[in-house]
């Protein structure tokens, strides 16, 4: 095993499985009257006018001195001179002086400085796990002071401030563990916070036949953590309060764990540059059960193929025993996403955690020579700014060019389709490059570059903007600024690309993961000089949940591990805490579903009061083992007593999980669940059903009444399907002629799909010879199927899987039966294509060469959003915009069409006019679409459609794709 970091509702207040939470936020602003007392103002002067910082500062004193009467007064008033990235200063001024200075022609704008409260390292605040609230899980449990968390990992660094024991009472009397001395670690280093620290190396020593040399691997034969993973996880779960924690100035705030007063017992089983050896892991877990831990946290994972829980997985067996003793086991889901069926630690007695982002991001500004700034979206650069210098493209250089020093002192730009960004940066540094910009697919890692030069990563979209600048500028230049922290809601929460996904490859009927928590860019303690570093992985998400479980264990000590898991799952957020949809990063992107995040994003504000729980104990777990097909002898060995599975074998679908996953549904089935009331006596719950597409559900009984003598109620769910068999898509398994003896062969690819459309276009061209290529394209798009011809949904295969959207199939599946009679077309000719070229930023000279004549783009530049395509795609929506389209009637004269809108999620659309009337003299009509967003964060694309219909004779449908950008990555 290796480290897994890269790493039913009542009429009161409970809603189980599906819930709605309404939060009203009252903002009260206190405005003080202005007076003549001096206050601090910031004066923004825009771009620097001098390269010499001293000259910039001198210019600031000239401006301020002219206001105050002398340079001496200016020096006394000025606090900071901003002279590197931009020009400006802050100074103490009266309100009248500030007003006068704002009139200075050199001043861009002037703002009064404001007090800002210290922020946290973010995870706890993001989840609402607030220690200062007068009520809530943290307050009600004294921050977990009576719980003991066992961290099975790479050890611990006890000297970290995160493990101070200030204010902690005596060690819980039930604790039976110990601290063990060893190399670089004295048992006296333990305290009332770190109450246990042991290490396990006999297994790995035996693996190396006694020749395991810890020193050669920069390790210590002791509980001391030399790699930082265990320390990071322990402080994330239970770290004490540490003010001003940061990583070289980034992410500054108060560090704390989910359960800041919980006790930590560290079990070292992982060693530098080595996998964590299973025998050592089991011994650690064995000791942890003895020692009296309440929760076990293991940020460890396995590779595909997974071991079966009973016959092969020692780890799952140990976890089973822990759970049977009432110890909740929380494990990382793994970092093999976004591919499906990669989730690990899938035993139903384990809580398996996925990783998400949160509302803190780190962006690296890249300023191009045309004063456009784009934001590097991954990686950290914490060095000095690299000022404007030549920008070169890797593909324009040969090996000889690099050897000749042509890249020396320049910024290198390149595209990479793999993850070898550090290797590319190392190569660039070796050739004298001072900075590198890499366009690559996002991997959701927040970590500094290792090459020692300025570096920034962008996605392919931003990369194409940079490439266009490079290819259309004679002397391209760029500068790279240090990474900046953005906190609040710049971007929507998403399941991290690396987070492993379901379905469960061992038992598909057992939903995994169970729950998700922030696991990207987590700042926590490490054994280095800086004290705190960012790490990413499901390893980092796991201790977030572990700490919450510890708090819950203290508040609800009689709850079983299964009840705790149920409470986590049924109360989870399906949106982020601000109400925005949670996306799942992958290829392709999509809205997250249970195979990405289980029940959803952990919600510590609700978890202690779920109303009902789906509980499990010994009998239910044995039910699972029998249904999974394990032999009686295997189960007997696990239980330590002879056991025979009942006949007939129970159904795995009836395992009492807080989820229902049916991998194979062909005919009606009935599933059973039992819920336990942990809320008020007399509670009444009613079933609210949101069925999957094409699935019928019937719940019986529909109402659950928990009287004084009723603690548990069993209900059934009848499930049936309306789906019919699938069909093959044109382009996969196409049988056609080949120059071989057999004459015909199967081939697959877009190469095979293209001639299918080509032939349809040929038929259409003969039937409609006067139609332009654009009109033909429009007819193909607006008449396409969005289901297959039999009416079944079209899926998009990928990692993860999803229902197809316009980025998968454009308008949809080609429909030759409708294409010759679309009713309306979105036509384009010469002028519209030139409109596109101008809007794309191509220079006049390039367009002139293409056209074969001199051409000058109009001013202002036309908007690309108004190119007359049979689709509307808006990549950057921050405020209301108006888009124009023109349709041409190719149907009967006198046709009347009405607009039917299916808006993308969170997007408002207004079409004007709403009715199009094509009289004898009206061939073309132009309409507008006003588009605005209700989202308050950056989102991924959401999809909808606009259809013009003449009572269903023609349905002229175009796809809508809109992405909100509150914070634009291109400034």
Question: Which region among 419-423, 752-756, 808-812, 931-935 has the lowest average model confidence (pLDDT)?
Answer: 419-423
Mean pLDDT of 780-796: 88
Please, which pLDDT band fits residue 514 given cuts at 50, 70 and 90? very high
The answer to whether the beta carbons of residues 788 and 726 sit under 8 Å apart is yes
3-state SS, residue 755: helix
How many beta carbons lie within 10 A of that of residue 476, not counting itself? 19
In this predicted structure, the answer to whether residue 40 has a pLDDT above a threshold of 80 is no
What's the pLDDT tens digit per position in 838-866?
Answer: 988 888 888 888 888 899 999 898 999 99
- Is the dihedral angle over the CA atoms 32, 36, 37, 38 positive or is it negative? positive
* Cα gap 436→415, rounded to integer Å: 11
Comparison of pLDDT for 928 and 84, the residue scoring more: 928
In this predicted structure, the answer to whether residue 446 has a pLDDT above a threshold of 70 is no
Closest by Cα among 202, 206, 200, 217 to 153: 200
Closest by Cα among 450, 439, 443 to 417: 439
Closest by Cα among 719, 688, 727, 723 to 704: 688
The answer to whether the beta carbons of residues 144 and 259 sit under 8 Å apart is yes
In this predicted structure, the answer to whether residue 31 has a pLDDT above a threshold of 70 is no
pLDDT of residue 35: 39
pLDDT of residue 99: 87
Q: Name the helix (H) or strand (E) containing 318.
A: helix 314-324
pLDDT of residue 78: 81
Helix ranges restricted to H, 193-277 = 202-207, 229-238
Identify the DSSP state of 448: B
Residue 749: left (phi > 0), alpha (psi -120 to 50), or beta?
left
In this predicted structure, the answer to whether residue 119 has a pLDDT above a threshold of 50 is no
pLDDT of residue 48: 64
Q: Name the helix (H) or strand (E) containing 100.
A: helix 95-102
The answer to whether the beta carbons of residues 86 and 50 sit under 8 Å apart is no
Please, which pLDDT band fits residue 125 given cuts at 50, 70 and 90? low
Please, which pLDDT band fits residue 6 given cuts at 50, 70 and 90? very low
Helix ranges restricted to H, 158-275 = 202-207, 229-238
| Extended strands (E) in 601-689 | 612-613, 669-677, 684-686
Mean pLDDT of 13-31: 26
Mean pLDDT of 760-766: 93
Comparison of pLDDT for 635 and 650, the residue scoring more: 650
Identify the DSSP state of 491: B
By CB atoms closer than 10 A (0-12, 13-18, 19+), residue 637 is: middle
Q: Which of 375-379, 693-697, 909-913 tops mean pLDDT? A: 909-913
In this predicted structure, the answer to whether residue 197 has a pLDDT above a threshold of 50 is yes
Burial track 138-173 (b if 16+ CB lie within 10 A, e otherwise): beebbbbbbbbbbbbbbbbbbebbbbbbeebeebee
pLDDT of residue 908: 95
The answer to whether the beta carbons of residues 148 and 293 sit under 8 Å apart is yes
Question: Mean pLDDT of all residues in the chain?
Answer: 83
Please, which pLDDT band fits residue 1 given cuts at 50, 70 and 90? low
Cβ within 8 Å of residue 645, ≥6 positions away: 625, 626, 632, 635
Question: Which region among 52-66, 837-851, 940-954, 957-971 has the lowest average model confidence (pLDDT)?
Answer: 957-971
* Cα gap 297→596, rounded to integer Å: 21
Stated pTM of the model: 0.75
* Cα gap 482→589, rounded to integer Å: 29
pLDDT of residue 108: 61
Q: Name the helix (H) or strand (E) containing 564.
A: helix 561-570
Helix ranges restricted to H, 628-770 = 632-639, 750-767
What count of Cα atoms within 13 Å lies in the side-chain half-sphere of residue 323? Answer: 29
Question: Which region among 348-362, 765-779, 861-875 has the lowest average model confidence (pLDDT)?
Answer: 348-362
Mean pLDDT of 451-465: 84
pLDDT of residue 344: 87
What's the pLDDT tens digit per position in 577-631?
Answer: 878 888 888 766 788 999 999 999 999 989 999 999 999 998 899 998 899 888 8
Mean pLDDT of 48-55: 80
Helix ranges restricted to H, 768-870 = 773-782, 806-809, 830-839, 844-851
| Extended strands (E) in 811-954 | 824-825, 872-877, 881-889, 896-902, 907-912, 915-917, 924-933, 941-949
Comparison of pLDDT for 490 and 558, the residue scoring more: 558
pLDDT of residue 204: 77
pLDDT of residue 721: 87
Closest by Cα among 638, 639, 627 to 672: 627
By CB atoms closer than 10 A (0-12, 13-18, 19+), residue 22 is: exposed
What's the pLDDT tens digit per position in 265-299?
Answer: 999 988 886 677 777 888 888 889 889 999 999 99
Q: Name the helix (H) or strand (E) containing 285.
A: helix 278-291
In this predicted structure, the answer to whether residue 549 has a pLDDT above a threshold of 90 is yes
> Any idea which residues carry the catalytic annotation?
153, 229, 539
Comparison of pLDDT for 127 and 397, the residue scoring more: 397
How many beta carbons lie within 10 A of that of residue 794, not counting itself? 17
In this predicted structure, the answer to whether residue 127 has a pLDDT above a threshold of 80 is no
3-state SS, residue 752: helix
Closest by Cα among 717, 645, 647, 646 to 675: 717
Helix ranges restricted to H, 371-441 = 399-403, 421-430
Helices (H) and strands (E) in the chain, counts: 22, 48
* Cα gap 348→624, rounded to integer Å: 8
The answer to whether the beta carbons of residues 334 and 344 sit under 8 Å apart is yes
Please, which pLDDT band fits residue 85 given cuts at 50, 70 and 90? very low
Sheet with 612-613, strands from edge to edge, namely 612-613, 669-677, 712-721, 695-700
* Cα gap 380→376, rounded to integer Å: 9
Q: What angle do CA 603, 607, 608 make, to 5 degrees?
A: 150
In this predicted structure, the answer to whether residue 10 has a pLDDT above a threshold of 70 is no
The answer to whether the beta carbons of residues 193 and 234 sit under 8 Å apart is no
In this predicted structure, the answer to whether residue 3 has a pLDDT above a threshold of 80 is no
Comparison of pLDDT for 663 and 639, the residue scoring more: 663
pLDDT of residue 968: 59
Q: Which residues pair with 827 in a beta bridge?
A: none
Q: Which residues pair with 705 in a beta bridge?
A: 684
């Amino acid at each position: 095993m290796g480290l897994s970091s890269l790493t039913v509702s009542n009429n009161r207040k409970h809603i189980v499985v599906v819930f709605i939470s309404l939060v009203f936020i009252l903002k009260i602003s206190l405005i003080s009257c202005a007076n003549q007392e001096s206050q601090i103002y910031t004066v923004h002067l825009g771009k620097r006018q001098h390269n010499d910082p001293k000259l910039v500062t001198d210019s600031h004193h000239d401006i301020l001195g002219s206001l105050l009467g002398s340079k001496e007064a200016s020096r006394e008033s000025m606090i900071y001179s901003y002279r590197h990235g931009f020009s400006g200063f802050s100074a103490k001024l009266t309100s009248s002086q500030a007003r006068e200075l704002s009139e200075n022609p050199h001043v861009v704008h002037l703002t009064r400085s404001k007090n800002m409260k210290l922020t946290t390292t973010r995870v706890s605040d993001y989840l609402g796990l607030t220690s200062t609230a007068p009520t809530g899980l943290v307050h009600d449990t004294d921050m977990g002071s009576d719980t003991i968390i066992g961290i099975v990992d790479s050890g611990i660094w006890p000297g970290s401030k995160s493990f101070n024991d200030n204010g902690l009472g005596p060690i819980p009397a039930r604790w039976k563990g110990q601290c063990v001395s060893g190399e670089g670690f004295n048992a006296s280093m333990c305290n009332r916070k770190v109450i246990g620290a042991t290490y396990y190396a006999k297994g790995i020593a035996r693996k190396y036949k006694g020749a395991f040399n810890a020193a050669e691997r920069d390790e210590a034969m002791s509980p001391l953590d030399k790699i930082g993973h265990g320390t990071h996880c322990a402080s994330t779960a239970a770290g004490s309060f540490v003010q001003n924690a940061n990583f070289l100035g980034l992410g500054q705030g108060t560090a704390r764990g989910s359960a800041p007063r919980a006790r930590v017992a560290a079990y070292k089983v992982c060693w530098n540059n080595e996998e964590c050896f299973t025998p050592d892991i089991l011994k650690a877990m064995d000791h942890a059960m003895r020692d009296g831990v309440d929760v076990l946290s293991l940020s460890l994972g396995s590779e595909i193929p997974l071991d079966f829980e009973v016959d092969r997985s020692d780890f799952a067996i140990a976890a089973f025993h822990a759970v049977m003793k009432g110890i909740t086991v929380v494990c990382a889901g793994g970092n093999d996403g976004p591919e499906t069926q990669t989730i690990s630690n899938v035993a139903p007695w384990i809580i398996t955690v996925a990783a998400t982002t949160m509302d803190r991001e780190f962006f690296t500004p890249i300023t191009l020579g045309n004063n456009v700034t784009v934001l590097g979206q991954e990686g950290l650069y914490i060095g000095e700014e690299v000022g404007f210098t030549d920008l070169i493209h890797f593909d324009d250089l040969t090996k000889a060019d690099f050897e000749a020093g042509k890249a020396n002192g320049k910024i290198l730009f390149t595209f990479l389709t793999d993850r070898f960004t550090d290797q590319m940066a190392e190569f660039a540094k070796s050739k004298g490059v001072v900075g590198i910009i890499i366009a690559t697919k996002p991997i959701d890692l927040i970590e500094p570059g290792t090459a020692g030069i300025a570096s920034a990563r962008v996605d392919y979209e931003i990369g194409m903007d940079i490439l266009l600048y490079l290819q259309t500028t004679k002397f391209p230049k760029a500068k790279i600024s240090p990474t900046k922290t953005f906190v609040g809601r710049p971007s929507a929460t998403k399941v991290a690309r690396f987070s492993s996904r379901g379905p469960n490859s061992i038992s598909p009927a057992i939903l995994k993961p169970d729950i998700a928590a922030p696991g990207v860019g987590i700042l926590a303690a490490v054994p280095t000089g800086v004290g705190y570093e960012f790490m990413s992985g499901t390893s980092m998400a796991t201790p977030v949940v572990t700490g919450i479980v510890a708090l819950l264990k203290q508040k609800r000590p009689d709850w079983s591990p299964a009840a705790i898991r149920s409470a986590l799952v049924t109360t989870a957020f399906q949106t982020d805490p601000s109400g925005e949809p949670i996306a799942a990063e992958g290829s392709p992107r999509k809205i997250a579903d249970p195979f990405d995040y289980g029940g959803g994003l952990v919600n510590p504000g609700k978890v202690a009061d779920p109303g009902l729980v789906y509980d499990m104990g010994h009998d239910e777990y044995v039910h699972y083992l029998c249904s999974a097909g394990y032999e009686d002898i295997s189960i007997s060995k696990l239980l330590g007593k002879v056991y025979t599975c009942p006949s007939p074998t129970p159904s795995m679908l009836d395992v009492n999980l807080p989820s229902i996953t049916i991998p194979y549904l062909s005919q009606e089935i009935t599933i059973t669940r039992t819920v336990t009331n942990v809320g008020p006596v007399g509670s009444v719950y009613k079933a609210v059903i949101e069925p999957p597409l094409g699935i019928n559900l019937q719940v019986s009984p529909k109402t659950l009444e928990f009287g004084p003598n009723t603690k548990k109620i069993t209900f059934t769910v009848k499930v049936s399907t309306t789906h019919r068999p699938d069909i093959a898509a044109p382009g996969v398994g196409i049988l056609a002629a080949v120059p071989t003896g057999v004459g015909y062969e199967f081939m697959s690819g877009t190469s095979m799909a293209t001639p299918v459309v080509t032939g349809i276009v040929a038929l259409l061209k003969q039937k409609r010879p006067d139609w332009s290529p654009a009109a033909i394209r429009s007819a193909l798009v607006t008449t396409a199927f969005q289901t297959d011809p039999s009416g079944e949904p079209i899926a998009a295969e990928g990692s993860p899987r999803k229902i197809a959207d316009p980025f998968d199939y454009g308008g949809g599946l080609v429909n030759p039966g409708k294409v010759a009679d679309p009713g309306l077309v979105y036509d384009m000719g010469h002028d519209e294509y030139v409109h596109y070229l101008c809007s794309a930023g191509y220079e006049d000279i390039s367009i002139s060469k293409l056209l074969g004549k001199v051409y000058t783009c109009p001013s202002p530049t036309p908007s690309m959003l108004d190119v007359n395509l049979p689709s509307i795609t808006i990549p950057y929506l921050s405020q209301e915009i108006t888009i124009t389209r023109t349709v041409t009637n190719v149907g009967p004269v006198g046709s009347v069409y009405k607009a039917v809108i299916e808006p993308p999620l969170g997007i408002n659309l207004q079409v004007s006019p709403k009715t199009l009337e094509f009289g004898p003299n009206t061939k073309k009509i132009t309409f507008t679409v006003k588009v605005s967003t209700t989202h308050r964060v950056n989102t991924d694309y959401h999809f909808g459609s606009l259809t013009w219909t003449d009572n269903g004779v023609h349905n002229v449908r175009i796809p809508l794709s809109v992405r909100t950008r509150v914070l634009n990555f291109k400034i």
